[in-house]
Structure 1
Amino acid sequence: MVYVQKSQTYQDINFLKSQKFLSFTKQVDKTHKGVVDGVLPAGSIYPANDETAEGITINDVDVSKGAQPVGVIVSGHILIERLPVKPEDAAQTAMREVKFYDANGKMIALPAASAPIE
Structure 2
Amino acid sequence: MRVKVKLVVFRHPEPAKWGVFCSYCPAIKEFQGRGKTIEDVVNIVTRILEIRLSKGCMTRSLRNFGWSIMENSLIPPIFTDEELLRLTEGHYGLRVTDYQIIELNGEVTHRR
TM range (shorter): under 0.3
Say which structure, 1 or 2, has more relative contact order (CA 8 Å, 6+ apart): 2
Higher helix share: 2
Structure whose CA Rg is larger: 1
TM-score by length of structure 2 reads 0.27
